[in-house]
Every structure is written in structure tokens, then in C-alpha cells.
A and B are shown apart, each in its own frame.
Chain A
Amino acid sequence: MAFVSIFKNRIGIEKEIDSFLNLASESGLIFNQGVDAFLSNNLESFNDHLNHIVETEKEADTLRRSIEDLLYRKTLIPESRGDVLELIERMDALLGRFKGVMFRFEIERPNIEPQFHEGLKALVSCVIQAVEAATLSLRAYFKDISQATDHIHKVAFWETEADKTSSNLQKAIFATESFGLDVKMQIRDLVRSIDKIADQAEDMADSLAIYVIKRSL
């Protein structure tokens, strides 16, 4: 009976973690589409994406709680339980960041001039790539630990790219004389908050790199 119970728990938690990581990956894509819609001034589509990301984040929260509950109640993976919980929470925080930036667009409605659109899209792309690599590294941590390090390297790469793009964008914003300081600071803060997502993805990847060493056979 005990083995049947372990088997059921294992299947259950594997599915939940997979679904959770799918949501993490999805939320990056929704974020990308949402920013595109905002920059194209298509507010209806932007709102749809905002609602979608809120739903996704809510669903991920439910899954996170369920995973935590299963891990502790069923005493699964006792030696890595704490590490897994931390990684799941950090990934959930990334989803929360996507939602937060989308709400920032919705609340502040910044007036972003077309000359910055390309830079902003490039920044969003780097951030999404960083989060995607973090998601893949976490997936590999569960499924094929030997692959995890490859994805961790990519997170670091995309985070550096995001930093470069963000710096260039901020320089360009402050070099534009037609803007008032208030507008410059508002867009700068927005750019920083987007860049912060890549920083958080890198922090998660750094922790993951240590946990990979801990689990290495």
C-alpha cells in the first residue's frame, strides 16, 4: 500500500511541477504580447493580455501551494525538498514580476516615443529569453540534471544582454532633450523594472547552480 501511495504522489507532483513550469514559460510570452500591444496602442488587446497574465499567475500560485503541500505532507525528496521549494518560490516571484510590470503599464500609461520602441522590445526579448532559460534549467534539474548547467549559462548570457540593452535605452532616454525630467524618470523606472526580471532570473539560476552541485551523483 505504501508503495502505491508513493507512486501516486510521484505522478501527481511530477504533473504539477510540469504544469507550473509551463505557466512560467507561458507568462513570458503573454508579457511579450502585452508590451507589443501597449506599444502599438492597442489597449483592448493589452487588457486581454493583462487579464490573461493575472489568471496565469493565480493558477501558478495554486500549483505552488499544492506542490509545497505535497512535498512536505508526503515527505518526498527529503534531501532536496528545501532547495526545490526555494526554486519554485523564486520562479513564482518571476511570474509576479511580469504581472507587476504589466500593471505598471496599465496604471502609469507611459508615453513611450516610437524611437524607443525597438530598444524596449529588444529588452523585453532579452528578459523573456533569460526567464525561458531559467525555466529550462529548472526543468532539467528535475528531469535531466546533466543538462541544467547548459541552460544556467544561457540565463547569465541573456541577463548581461538585458543589462546592456537597458543601459543603452536609459542613455538614449536621457539624451533626448524634448522630454521633461519627469517623463525621462518615469520611462527609466519602467525600463529598470523590466530589466529587474532578468536579474531575478539570474539570481534563481545562481542558486540552482549550487543545488545542481549538491545533487550531482
Chain B
Amino acid sequence: MFLFFLSSGMFLGWSLGANDASNVFGTAVGSRMLRFRTAAALCCIFVILGAVISGAGASHTLGKLGAVNAVGGAFVVAFSAAMSVYLMTLARYPVSTSQAIVGAIIGWNLFSGSPTDNTALMKIVTTWIACPILSAIIAIISYKIVTLIILRLKVHMFRLDEATRIGLVLAGIFGSFSLGANNIANVVGVFLPVSPFKELTLIGIHFSPAQQLFFLGSVAISIGVITYSKRVMDTVGTGIFKLSPVMAFVAVWAHSVVLFLFASQGLEKFLMDLGLPTIPLVPVSSSQAIVGAVVGMGLLKGGHTIRWRTVGGIAGSWVTTPIFACVISFICLFILQNVFQQTVYLP
């Protein structure tokens, strides 16, 4: 029965793969520096590794927002988020899965009468604003440094082409890992409290129940990458602002750094050891990070070549997505409880 309910999480994973792989490799594929097949294969491998190795950090914050305590409820929450993301993907908008799942959890909180942890919510919403801004800043600084190096070293056109391809692959790998680590919480995080998995040891490697769940979620993400991500890659690669390959590399790099900052428990521990303030481990939006980076570089170039209408459409979808997911979640919970007589929350 659990596996049936988990299917909505798989659907959400598929939607995330279809949508967010474009953030990692969209600029590379869009600027024709990488073949889609190569990009998809690398993305799948490293999303799975990121989710299984480093996925636990961001899932704690999501758990605090609302602990969905019945498997039926978890099913609806994941399903509502997935539907929102899928519909936005159909419209070719690089939508945020994080926003969709947060909206859906709040829908569950409203339906079940559970209080929403305002501190956790504020923490998450703040990162939604901080994430694209931070990404834009990192992109601008990185782009300045990269161009300075290229001009100083007088890099030959073909050598630059070669270096950019390698850079895009490495940044894409880093981005995929960070995406898996940061966003797996969105996909299967709501199932964690109701997961029936037991501890498992395979060829000497220990897998916790959460890691097994994360593995299943990341496989679903991979299927989404392979089957449906090509369409959104075109929007990200060429839709907002025509990117040069060097810019494409910087965009993926900035996006990956932002995702990594918000997902790395290692970095959190390092900052804590130094007595410095830590960065909250929150599932941030990979879409917001990449759009922030692309717009940042567009602004650096004077801003006149940015297609503001597309940016407006994307930003608008960031506002509508959580509301949309919240409404769908509330309606579906009502239907599942009253029509299908399923338990969607435990009082």
C-alpha cells in the first residue's frame, strides 16, 4: 500500500526531473555546447548520488514546516505539488518544485488544522527571495573573474571552446549533485515520517531508511530528466537572454553554488566550528537560482537584451505555484477523505 501512495512522490520526482534538469544542463544544451543525451546521462547519475549521499540536510526544514502524519496525506501533498509542477512544465515555465511542495504542505496544514510553523515558513520564503539574488550576485562576480582570466591569458577561440565544454560538464555534474542533495527533500521528504523502510546493508555499505527513500525519489527524477526535460532546456537556454557558452558555464556554476550552500551539512558544520553564522539548510528553488544567474549576467551586459516578458512570466509562476499547489492539495485532501474514505491525517 505504501508503494502505491509513494507513486505520487514518484510523479513529483518525475516532474522535478523534467523541469529542473534544464536548470543544470539547459544552458549547455541550449547553447549547443553539449548533446542532450550526454547531459541527461550525467544529470541522472549525479542527482542519484547527491540525493543518497547528501539529501538529509534540507529535508529536516521541510519536516518542521508540517509533519504529514498519514500516508494518504503524504500522497495528496506530493500529488498536488507534482500536478502544479507538471502543469507549469507543460506551459514551459521553469517552475519551483520547492514552492509547490511548500504550498501543498500548507494546504495539508490548513485541511488538518495543524499549525504552520511560521519560523520555518519564514525561513523558507526568505530563501525564495535570497536565492535568485544570491545567484545573480555569484554569477556577476564569477563572470567578471572568468572574463578577466580569459582576456589576461589571451585564450585561443578553440581552446576557450574546449575549456568551456569541460567547465559546463563539471559545473553540470556539481549542479546535478547539489540538485539531488537539495531538492530530494521536496520529492519524498513528506513520506519520511510514514516510511516503512528498514536499515539495509549492501556490499558493506549501510543505507538508512531515508537514503532508500531518497534513492527511489532520485530514480524518478532521472526518469523525468530522460523523458521530458528537453523542452524546458530550450526555454532556459535561449528564452530569457541569449547566452554565450561562457555565460552558460557561469550560470550553471552560480546555480550549483547556491544549491550547494543551502544543502551542505558539511559546510554548516565547518561554519559552526569556526563560530560563524550558518546558512539555513532549506530546499531552495533550482529554477530561481538559474533564472537569477541568467538575469544577473543580462544586467551586467546592460539589461537591454533581457526578455523581461519571459522573466515576468517566470516570476509570476513563482507566486502562483505555491498558491495553486495549496488549493489543489486542499481540494484533493477533501476528495480523498470524503469520497475515497482514506485517512489523510492523524488527529
Within 8 A of A (CB), among B226-246: 244-246
- B269-288 CB mask vs A (1 if < 8 Å, else 0) is 00000000000000000000
Q: Closest residue to A13 on the B side, CB-wise?
A: B158
- Which of under 10, 10 to 19, 20 to 34, or 35 or more describes the interface residues of A? 20 to 34
- For B200, what are the chain A residues with a Cβ–Cβ distance below 8 Å? none
- For B156, what are the chain A residues with a Cβ–Cβ distance below 8 Å? 14, 142-143
- B213-226 CB mask vs A (1 if < 8 Å, else 0) is 00000000000000
Contact check: which of B38, B150, B158 meets A76 at CB < 8 Å? B158
For the complex, is A108 an interface residue (Cβ under 8 Å from B)?
Answer: no
Bound: A152/B33 CA distance, A:
29
**Contact across chains for B166 and A142 when beta carbons are under 8 A apart:** no
**Contact across chains for B246 and A3 when beta carbons are under 8 A apart:** no
**Contact across chains for B244 and A6 when beta carbons are under 8 A apart:** no
For the complex, is B117 an interface residue (Cβ under 8 Å from A)?
Answer: no
Known: A2-B38, A3-B166. A142 touches B154 (CB 8 A): no
- For B154, what are the chain A residues with a Cβ–Cβ distance below 8 Å? 143-144, 146
**Contact across chains for A146 and B158 when beta carbons are under 8 A apart:** no
CB distance from B173 to the nearest CB of A (A): 13
- For B244, what are the chain A residues with a Cβ–Cβ distance below 8 Å? 79, 215, 217
For the complex, is A78 an interface residue (Cβ under 8 Å from B)?
Answer: yes
CB distance from A145 to the nearest CB of B (A): 8
CB distance from B165 to the nearest CB of A (A): 6
For the complex, is B157 an interface residue (Cβ under 8 Å from A)?
Answer: yes
- For A145, what are the chain B residues with a Cβ–Cβ distance below 8 Å? 157
For the complex, is A22 an interface residue (Cβ under 8 Å from B)?
Answer: no
For the complex, is B151 an interface residue (Cβ under 8 Å from A)?
Answer: yes
For the complex, is B147 an interface residue (Cβ under 8 Å from A)?
Answer: yes
Bound: A195/B273 CA distance, A:
74
Q: Closest residue to A143 on the B side, CB-wise?
A: B156
- A1-43 CB mask vs B (1 if < 8 Å, else 0) is 0110011001001100000000000000000000000000000
Within 8 A of B (CB), among A45-68: none
**Contact across chains for A10 and B158 when beta carbons are under 8 A apart:** yes
For the complex, is B31 an interface residue (Cβ under 8 Å from A)?
Answer: yes
- Which of under 10, 10 to 19, 20 to 34, or 35 or more describes the interface residues of B? 10 to 19
For the complex, is A141 an interface residue (Cβ under 8 Å from B)?
Answer: yes
Bound: A118/B69 CA distance, A:
97
For the complex, is A181 an interface residue (Cβ under 8 Å from B)?
Answer: no
- A126-145 CB mask vs B (1 if < 8 Å, else 0) is 00000000000000011111
Contact check: which of A14, A75, A141, A146 meets B32 at CB < 8 Å? A75
Q: Closest residue to A2 on the B side, CB-wise?
A: B38
- For A146, what are the chain B residues with a Cβ–Cβ distance below 8 Å? 151, 154
CB distance from A40 to the nearest CB of B (A): 42
For the complex, is A172 an interface residue (Cβ under 8 Å from B)?
Answer: no
Within 8 A of B (CB), among A72-116: 75-80, 84
- Chain A interface main SS type: helix
CB distance from B182 to the nearest CB of A (A): 28
**Contact across chains for A10 and B32 when beta carbons are under 8 A apart:** no
**Contact across chains for A217 and B147 when beta carbons are under 8 A apart:** yes
Contact check: which of B147, B158, B166 meets A77 at CB < 8 Å? B158
**Contact across chains for B32 and A78 when beta carbons are under 8 A apart:** yes
Bound: A78/B31 CA distance, A:
7
Which of A77, A142, A215: most chain B CB closer than 10 A?
A77
**Contact across chains for A10 and B166 when beta carbons are under 8 A apart:** no
CB distance from B219 to the nearest CB of A (A): 25
CB distance from A87 to the nearest CB of B (A): 11
Q: Closest residue to B32 on the A side, CB-wise?
A: A78
Bound: A145/B244 CA distance, A:
15
**Contact across chains for A10 and B151 when beta carbons are under 8 A apart:** no
- A172-198 CB mask vs B (1 if < 8 Å, else 0) is 000000000000000000000000000
Known: A7-B162, A217-B147. A78 touches B33 (CB 8 A): yes
CB distance from B296 to the nearest CB of A (A): 15
CB distance from A47 to the nearest CB of B (A): 39
Q: Closest residue to B165 on the A side, CB-wise?
A: A6
Contact check: which of B31, B161, B246 meets A10 at CB < 8 Å? B161
**Contact across chains for B31 and A14 when beta carbons are under 8 A apart:** no
Known: A14-B156, A217-B246. A76 touches B161 (CB 8 A): yes
Which of A13, A78, A146: most chain B CB closer than 10 A?
A78
Bound: A32/B175 CA distance, A:
57
Known: A217-B147, A217-B150. A141 touches B245 (CB 8 A): no
Instruction: Identify 9 new A-B residue pairs, CB closer than 8 A, beyond the known A79-B32, A144-B154.
Output: A7-B162, A13-B158, A78-B245, A79-B31, A79-B245, A143-B156, A215-B157, A217-B150, A217-B151
Residues on B close to A: CB < 8 A?
31-33, 38, 147, 150-151, 154, 156-159, 161-162, 165-166, 244-246
The 17 sampled A-B contact pairs (Cβ below 8 Å) are A2-B38, A6-B166, A10-B158, A14-B159, A77-B158, A78-B245, A79-B31, A79-B32, A79-B245, A80-B157, A142-B158, A143-B157, A146-B151, A146-B154, A217-B150, A217-B151, A217-B246
Residues on A close to B: CB < 8 A?
2-3, 6-7, 10, 13-14, 75-80, 84, 141-146, 215, 217
